[in-house]
Amino acid sequence: MSTIGFIGAGLIGATVARLAVQGGHNVVLSNSREPRTLLPLAAALGPQARAASRGEAAEAADIVVVTIPLGALTDVPVEPLKGKTVIDTSNYYWQRDGHIDVLDARSITTSQILADHLPESHVVKAFNNINFKHLGLLARPAGDPERTPLVIAGDDAAAKEQVTAFLDSIGYDALDAGALAEGWRFDNGEPAYGKPYLGPDADPTNILAMGNGQAATRAELEAALAAATR
């Protein structure tokens, strides 16, 4: 049984944590505040979950999920993450994050910013292009005809294999988009961002009322990635 650490426990983080517990993993939750603020979430997830500081979550985990706003990426602890696989879920919204020149110029991706901050970790981009509600509802066991892939990108083959195995354990296949620099292909605003998982009952104008979603096929996601433009 592996341990998944969480730096950030918002909508995506809490959803992945729930799926991880259901998949048989232990989870260690952290945020920018005191661990006690996460006690209700940990209690709801059950005995496989506990709240901790960011450093403790990073130290305890086999895989760490970083799911925080871009402005907080430099607060991610470096030392306890050396040699570890780190999943980055970040997206750039200038309305929330303020304008970031290198991202406006598309000369770097959000996950590369985290990778630069964690030079001895292995960063894999995942979970950023699916609505948290769809993420929670579309998980399916292996072999289910309605199982859907999630897109990943990264520079380390072993880390991507580790993330692929983790995704499998929580109900998803993986579609490898290539190197971390290719992560822009499923960033906010690109065809692979959200749209392949929209169901017929979705309201795309309301992020909190997105319907139950639908499985995206590998071919649909591959086509969406290929249609990305810079």
Task: Please provide the average confidence, as pLDDT, over all residues in the chain.
Answer: 93
Report pLDDT for 94.
80
1 pLDDT band (50/70/90 cuts)? confident
pLDDT confidence of 204, banded at 50, 70, 90? low
Whichever domain contains 70, its CATH number is: 3.40.50.720
Residue range of the domain that includes 104: 3-226
d(CA 55, CA 29): 11
pLDDT tens digits along 133-182: 999 999 999 999 999 999 999 999 999 999 999 999 999 999 999 999 99
CA gap 51, 5 in Å, rounded: 10
Indicate the length of the chain as a whole number: 230
**Closest among 67, 109, 116, 70 to 93, alpha carbons compared:** 70
Count of domains observed in the chain: 1
Between residues 199 and 20, which one has the greater pLDDT?
A: 20
Alpha helices in 32-138 (DSSP H): 39-45, 54-60, 94-97, 101-104, 110-117, 132-137
Q: Is the pLDDT of residue 209 over 70?
A: no
Q: Which two tokens stand for residue 106?
A: 């598309």
